[in-house]
Every structure is written in structure tokens, then in C-alpha cells.
Structure 1
Amino acid sequence: MSDPLVTRLRSDLGDGAVVDDPDVLDSHRNDHATFCTAGVPRVLVRPAETSDVQAVMRVAAEFGVPVVTQGARTGLSGAANAIDGCLLLSTARMDRILEISVEDQVAVVQPGVVNAELSRAVLAKDLFYPPDPSSWEMSTIGGNIATNAGGLCCVKYGVTSDFVRGLEVVLASGEVVRTGRRAAKGVAGYDLTRLIVGSEGTLGVVTEATLALRPAPEAALTAAATFRSIEDGIAAAAAVMASGLRPALLEFLDQPTLRAIQDYRDMGLPADVGSMLLAQSDRGVRAAEDVARIAQICTAHGAIDVAEASDAEESRMLLEARRLVNSALEPLGVTLIDDVSVARSQLVPLLRGIAAIAREYDVLICCPGHVGDGNMHPTVVFDRDDPAAEARALAAFGAVMELGLRLGGTITGEHGIGTLKARWLETELGPVGLELHRRIKQSFDPANRLNPGKVLLL
């Protein structure tokens, strides 16, 4: 017997846009946070235009069906995971770059455009879209907007919200609202654009984005330094940031992460290395001078060894360790990736605390991160087939977030809340802040139809 919801959607959107094949639905249940619970969706819809999304939202309202919007499903907090009986709304077919303006330095895109494809398209016009999450070759602009994604270049250029000028959004009612503007300046009314950015599909469906661009960066060079302790590495990072330099990238790897990388691929890392710092300057002919200054700072703060790249290929090789993190951790077990962010002055207490948590709960916690802006990624690794190990891992994961909050930080710097961290949000926001969030959600989505159970526990 045919599903009346599916029949109606096919009538409105055409057969090609509506999928109810159980195998396809099953393959779309999860984002990359596979540890998070995922339900069984009722149907998958792939709209191509804003008007299609409007039609989907009106049908969903008529049938009382919850809607979970998905991009490339590269998220790490379960925000794109299905819930039982939901309608999955994929933006994959909304993948057009509508405009690149050299004069205004903006790009207008649909949400399904892949980050790397946009970056390459604007670079062909000597322009630059800075937000660069590690998933940039797969993740979409819509998903980046949904989580306010960051990346390696955040330390110099900022996160996604710093580059979103305006949005077109379809609300739960099927109405369309345009937020923000194309112009570089504008302060009329509440900033609805920044409210939508980072809302993880709970307030509306982004169908178009106007993004700010910058002139293309100059050539970059990289330095890598190893230290005997966490404290020396963090002190060197703090000194680099205090020196007046503006590194385009400043990354940190702790000893457990370095050990995992060395076991995965022999990179010649000594056993006594306690931490590694990776820094990059993208100032063209001045980059060599910047890298030399960074090397001097690292040496002054106890670096065991410092390598300075002389060209792009050497820079790529020095960054290899950072790029290998996820691959190196994958063979070790299931990963729970934390996303705490603290002030740089609190990084040493954070990392010391993480090491203590790992000992207390008898788990492996590796901690790479964007040390330049204090956004670290403590990753708990465990054997999923061992219930006791799983229980310890979950307890350790929560302890890390609580530590970050005690140090005045946040439970997420760029991955979002999803379902993975929702129960800790009230602790960070406080009761008044949480109630304001609930009122905003009620205003946008009174029937709680958009991605229910994500971000806010309603």
C-alpha cells in the first residue's frame, strides 16, 4: 500500500525528487557522528529550487511530519541524523554557484555547493573564501552555515558567520524570508542572519547564501616545532600570537595524538616528544621572514627541533601530521570528538585536565586542535564492543566538556550541538538563556517540526 505522504510529494515535486527505497533511506540515517542515535526516516526528498523546498514544508505541515535537513552529512554532532518517521530534506541537488562578483567581492550560492568547489571557483577570479573545515572537499556551504563551521584558517580569518552577508530561508510555514544584505555594512533591525547561522536546521532551511570574499592570499610557508612538554608547546603558541604576527594557521598536537600518528605512519617523531606546533604564514615574499620569526620563538620556548619550509612542497610535507590525525585514530577504535574552546590563557589547565580525565576513566584521549584560537578537539577513543569501555568513554567525554565550562569556555567551537551535546547546553547557557532560545525556536517553528530533538531538548 502506497504512503499518502510519498504520493503527495511525488505529485508536487516529481518522481525523481522523492525516494522511499529502504536501502537509500538507511544510507542517509547518519552524519559522521555515527555514535549518536539515528531513527528510521519515512522519505527522502531532494529539492532543486527554493519553490520545491516551500512545497516540501507545506506538505510536511499538512501531514504533521518532522523535517531533518541534510547536506553532505559530514557533521560530527548528529545534527543531520534522522529521527523516526521524519522527512529527510537533502540539499544535494541545490548545488549551483549563482554569481561571483569581483566588484562586490561576494558569491551567491545554493546550499548544496561543496566548500572546496566554491573555493576553487572564486580563486579562478583571484578571490578567496576563507572558512576551511577539514571536511572542505566534501562538506557543503549549507552544512557549514548550519554549524557555523570553522577550520584551520580561523585563527587569522574567522569562522563561517564572519563571511555570511545574507540568507534566503524557507520557514516551517513554507514562507520565505531574506535576511541581511549584499552590502558590506548594514545594521537595520535584529541580526537574523547570524541567528540562522549555527542554528543546525532548527529555525529554517537555507536555500541561498550571499557570502563575502577576500582577495586571494599570497603564497604560504610553514614551520613545524616539537617540544618535550605540553606546557612548552602552549607557551610557544601564546608567544607567537602575542608577537604581532598573524599566522594563517596555528595548530597543536599532543603526545597521544603524535604517538598515534607515528604508529600509523613513520614520520620520524622521537618517543619523547610531548607536543608539536604547526604554523603557517600566507604573506607571500614576507612569509619566509614570518616563519623564521616563529622558529626563533619556538626555539626560545624550548623546542627540541624546528623545521622551516622553503617552498610549497616542503610546507605540505610539514602539515602532513595534522592531516593524518583522523586516519591515524580510526584504526584505534570508535571516536567521540569533543569540541571545547577556551581562552588561550586556559589551554594548559585544559590539557592537563584532559590528561587527568584520561587516567581517571582509563581511556585514550588524543587532543589535536586550533591552538591559535583556543579551539581544541579532545577525542575519546574506545572499543565499541566493550560495554565497560563505552561507559567510561561517555563519562570521560562529558567530563571534558564540564572541564571546558569550568575554565570559562564553551562545549562547541565549530562542530555544533546536534544530539551529542544537547544535554550540556543548559549548563552553558543558564536557565534564562535557555528560555530565550526556546522562545526563539517557538517563534520560528511553533509546531517544533524542524529538526526536533536537536540542539534544544524540547
Structure 2
Amino acid sequence: MNDLVERLRQVLPPEALVTDQDRIQSYRYDRAMFCPAGEPIAVVLARETAHVVAAVKIAADAGVPVVPQGARSGLSGAANAIEGCLVISLEKMDKILEIETVDRYVVTQPGVFNAVLSRAVAEQGLFYPPDPSSWEFCSIGGNLSTNSGGLCCVKYGVTTDYVLGLEVVLADGQVLRTGRRTVKGVAGYDLTKLIVGSEGTLGIITEATLALRPEAARPRTMAALFDSGRTAGEAIVEIIRSGVSLSLLEIMDRTTIMAVNSYKRMDLPTEAAAMLIAQSDAGGEAGAADVATVAKLCRQYGAIECIEADDPAEGELLLEARRAALVALDQLGTTMIDDVCVPRSRLADFISAVEQISLDLDITIGVLGHAGDGNMHPTVVFDAEDPDQAARAQAAFDKVMEVGLELGGTITGEHGIGMLKRDWLVEEIGPVAVSVHRAIKAALDPKNVLNPGKVVS
């Protein structure tokens, strides 16, 4: 291991190699709870693709596993270090390289935060839609690695829908360039989509070319309050059925609302069991009509109150509350954040089932999520120092995934598999699909160098 570190010192600038044990500790974990993490030998703080290439080649030659990391904001343990690995962090590769306004794309390094990129392209009158709730502190590389979604998915889709091409360092240190900068192109297998969502197990993304859209109109925002989660779920189904084109449709239950009020010192209404937040960026009369339609449907399905934001600042405040929800719930105790996506027609059933799980196991679960596309984030809150609570929390977490599958859904809509859900992946996709996953992994990484033990083992 000393030899590996010495070889890294010979090819990397001093600031790109971390061997101090105190500094290394902060590179062991992402934000997932209850996922094991080992001690890395060293951390490479890559500044350019050449640093990644050199580090991968040296590690592969020494038979040392490599764990790629971004902002470590992930929620599945995919970025957790494993014992004796070399961590390659992309956080210093944080430059936006090009914004092309005619062909509507941006070329970026992976360490750029989502919010930074979104604001940079907005200055050019353009729009990058994928917007995870953690957009202020999650990186584009991590978004690509897990195929992140976000609040605007209901209208605009997820990360993979905007990836034109990638630069990827493979397990042997070769640099692969995928995709193209044209609007259309079907030459060969779609290697870009293979890499997106692979959680660093097939290659390390060092550059991305992302498609952009013209700037959207100023949105109109409204909130609807309900006396039960089930009636809120039924209203969501009818909103989707109506065909109204919303750019955002989110849900927060009372537990989540109270947590946000405490964390952000807000004054969100706590008299309701659930709150829907809806937004339309259609602009002008069309946007107003969208919001009016949603309000009408919510009232028909039992909304206690419907409130339209009087100005954009009020709308932004509601979005700020939704974005802060997971961090707010973290303040209540240890959290286990689920990421189940169900068919939207079964959303009311799913919300009711989660509420029943909370009652049956006597455990707090904050229910929130992207209601417009059925991607929910039930968050189990508990005292990790209490063995009984910890056991019930794990049981609740697993039961939520079980219910999601029973309703025809998936165990992860956007957070990925990582270490947290490997066993459940087998349950969802079955043995044949698992064998195909392993065959692809073996073809691109025959020595199992890249992020071993993540996704499939």
C-alpha cells in the first residue's frame, strides 16, 4: 500500500493526494444511514481527467479497488468507501466548460453543483430541468451516476433525458467518449444511457454534455390542504387524469411540515394532514387556468383550503420548504429515507399503506415526495441508540419497499441502489436480469476495480 501511495505521489500534484487520516475520515460516507464504510488508503482530489486516468491505472495495477465520489450527498451508500480502497473524488473538477446557446447544450465537469449550473445557464436564457431537492449541494456527476430526478420531473423528465454525451474513465484507465452534440444520432449502442445510473461501477464520469431548454415562463404556484393523506392521494390521481400540464406537483404530510417549520422557522399550516404544492410554468392565461383546474379538483376531493401564491416570492418560499424537507427531518433523529416509485393510479393506496406501517410498528414516518410522478420518499425517523427502535425502523423501511413492489412500483425512483438496496434489487428485477447486470460489469470491469459491492455483488 505504501508503494501505491508513492506511485501516486510521483504522478499527481501534492494538493491532489490526501493521506492524512483525519482528512480521509470525511471521505468515508455519503448521507445514507446504516451502510457500512471502510478505511481508504488515500483520497485523490482530481483536478482534471488525467489525474483520474493516472489514479485508476495505478490502482488497477496494484489490485486496489476504486470508489469514485462527488459531493457525497447520495442516499444509498453508493459513495461509501470500502476497506483498503482508493477514493477518487471529483469535487475539485468544478468548472463549466462551455454554454452553447444555439445548439442548446452545456459542457461541464462533474463536480459542478446542480444549482450553480442551473443559474449559469439561466443567465443565458436557458433552462436545465433536473432539479433534485438537494440541488444546492449535490453535484452533476452524482446526478448522472444515479440518474437523479427532482421536483420538475412530472413535466420535464429525469437526468438521462438531458445527457447528450459523456467522457468516462474506464476500469483500465482508457478514456471513453460517448454520444454526440447533435439533436439526433443513433450510431451504435447507447453507451451514454448505460453509464448514466450505473453509480460508478462501470466508469468514472469526468465530463458531460447536457441538453438545455429555452427558459420557462414565470411559474404560478398554489398549495392545497387536506385532512388525510388518502384524500390528498385521490386528488393527485384526478389531477393527473385531467391532463393538466403541471411543472411541479409535490406532497408533504403533517410530520414533514412540522419538521420544516422548526428547521426553517417557517409558518406552514399544521392543521392539515397533508399539503400539495402545485406549479405551472405554462405562462399567462394558460398557467392561471392550470392552477385554477388543480384548485377545483382539490376542492372536489376534499381539500380544506386552496391557496394561490400572490407573487413569485411566495411560490419560492413554498419550494424552499419542500427542498428543505429531508434535512429538516434529519433534525428529528436518525433517518432512513425510502425512494419508492409507484404507478400514479396507486398513489393513494401507497400513502395509506405507509401510514398503516407507521401505526403498526409505532415508528415515525414523514411522508413526502414527487406526487406528480409517483416517486415518494417516506422517511423513517428513530433513535439509533435504542436497539428496539432501530429494529422497528429497519422493518418499516423494508415494509415500505415491499408495499411499493406489491403495488407495481420500484424500490428506487432516483436515489439508486448503492449498498442500501442490493438485496431488494434482486427481488425486483429477478435472477435473469441480475445475471445480465453482472455480465455487463464483467465486460467493462473484469477485475472488479470500480466501486465493487455496489448495485450488484
Counterpart-to-counterpart distance in 1, 2:17 and 2:359: 50
CA contact (8 A) 1:334 1:381 kept: yes
After superposition, the C-alpha distances for 1:113-144 in whole angstroms (9 at most, x for unaligned) are 11111111111110011100111111111110
Amino acid at match of 1:330: D
**Residue 152 (structure 1) aligns with:** 151
Counterpart-to-counterpart distance in 2, 1:330 and 1:142: 24
Shift of 1:57: 1.0
Secondary structure at the aligned position of 2:92 is classed as coil
Counterpart-to-counterpart distance in 1, 2:258 and 2:51: 50
**Residue 328 (structure 1) aligns with:** 328
CA contact (8 A) 1:288 1:310 kept: no
Shift of 1:313: 1.4
Q: Within 5 Å, which residues of 2 pair with 1:11-50?
A: 11-50=10-49
Deviates more, 1:204-213 or 1:294-303: 294-303
Shift of 1:333: 0.9
Counterpart-to-counterpart distance in 1, 2:170 and 2:334: 36
Secondary structure at the aligned position of 2:405 is classed as helix
Q: Within 5 Å, which residues of 2 pair with 1:101-180?
A: 101-180=100-179
After superposition, the C-alpha distances for 1:375-430 in whole angstroms (9 at most, x for unaligned) are 00011111011011111111111111111111111100000011111111101110
Shift of 1:261: 4.1
Deviates more, 1:123-132 or 1:258-267: 258-267
Counterpart-to-counterpart distance in 2, 1:37 and 1:154: 31
How many aligned residue pairs are there? 455
Q: Report the CA distance shift for 1:107/1:235 in structure 2 as closer, same or farther (over 3 A).
A: same
**Residue 207 (structure 2) aligns with:** 208
Shift of 1:288: 2.6
Gaps of 5+ in 2: none
TM-score by length of 2: 0.96
CA contact (8 A) 2:230 2:352 kept: no
CA contact (8 A) 1:78 1:420 kept: yes
CA contact (8 A) 2:33 2:335 kept: no
**Residue 404 (structure 1) aligns with:** 404
Secondary structure at the aligned position of 1:417 is classed as coil
Shift of 1:262: 5.2
Deviates more, 1:42-51 or 1:406-415: 42-51
Secondary structure at the aligned position of 1:7 is classed as helix
Secondary structure at the aligned position of 1:168 is classed as strand
1:307 partnered with 2:291: no
Counterpart-to-counterpart distance in 2, 1:169 and 1:94: 14
RMSD (Å) for aligned C-alpha atoms: 1.5
Secondary structure at the aligned position of 1:277 is classed as strand
**Residue 237 (structure 1) aligns with:** 236
Counterpart-to-counterpart distance in 2, 1:123 and 1:259: 33
CA contact (8 A) 1:54 1:170 kept: yes
Secondary structure at the aligned position of 2:331 is classed as helix
Amino acid at match of 1:410: T
**Residue 95 (structure 1) aligns with:** 94
Counterpart-to-counterpart distance in 2, 1:262 and 1:92: 32
CA contact (8 A) 2:237 2:347 kept: no
Amino acid at match of 1:39: G
Shift of 1:320: 4.8
After superposition, the C-alpha distances for 1:76-135 in whole angstroms (9 at most, x for unaligned) are 111101111110001112112111111110111111111111111111110011100111
Shift of 1:257: 2.6
**Residue 294 (structure 2) aligns with:** 294
**Residue 58 (structure 1) aligns with:** 57
Counterpart-to-counterpart distance in 1, 2:255 and 2:424: 26
Secondary structure at the aligned position of 1:224 is classed as strand
Q: Report the CA distance shift for 1:17/1:347 in structure 2 as closer, same or farther (over 3 A).
A: same
**Residue 218 (structure 1) aligns with:** 217
Counterpart-to-counterpart distance in 1, 2:341 and 2:261: 26
Q: Report the CA distance shift for 1:268/1:34 in structure 2 as closer, same or farther (over 3 A).
A: closer
**Residue 316 (structure 1) aligns with:** 316
After superposition, the C-alpha distances for 1:35-82 in whole angstroms (9 at most, x for unaligned) are 321111100001222222111111011111100000110001111011
Counterpart-to-counterpart distance in 2, 1:266 and 1:130: 27
**Residue 337 (structure 2) aligns with:** 337
Counterpart-to-counterpart distance in 1, 2:315 and 2:402: 37
Q: Report the CA distance shift for 1:112/1:387 in structure 2 as closer, same or farther (over 3 A).
A: same
Shift of 1:317: 3.2
TM-score by length of 1: 0.96
Deviates more, 1:349-358 or 1:321-330: 321-330
Amino acid at match of 1:351: I
Counterpart-to-counterpart distance in 1, 2:183 and 2:16: 36
Q: Within 5 Å, which residues of 2 pair with 1:446-457?
A: 446-457=446-457
Counterpart-to-counterpart distance in 1, 2:209 and 2:331: 40
Shift of 1:319: 3.5
Q: Report the CA distance shift for 1:318/1:110 in structure 2 as closer, same or farther (over 3 A).
A: closer
Counterpart-to-counterpart distance in 1, 2:187 and 2:259: 51
Shift of 1:289: 2.9
**Residue 427 (structure 2) aligns with:** 427
Counterpart-to-counterpart distance in 2, 1:321 and 1:47: 35
Shift of 1:255: 3.6
Shift of 1:351: 1.4
1:445 partnered with 2:445: yes
Amino acid at match of 1:74: S
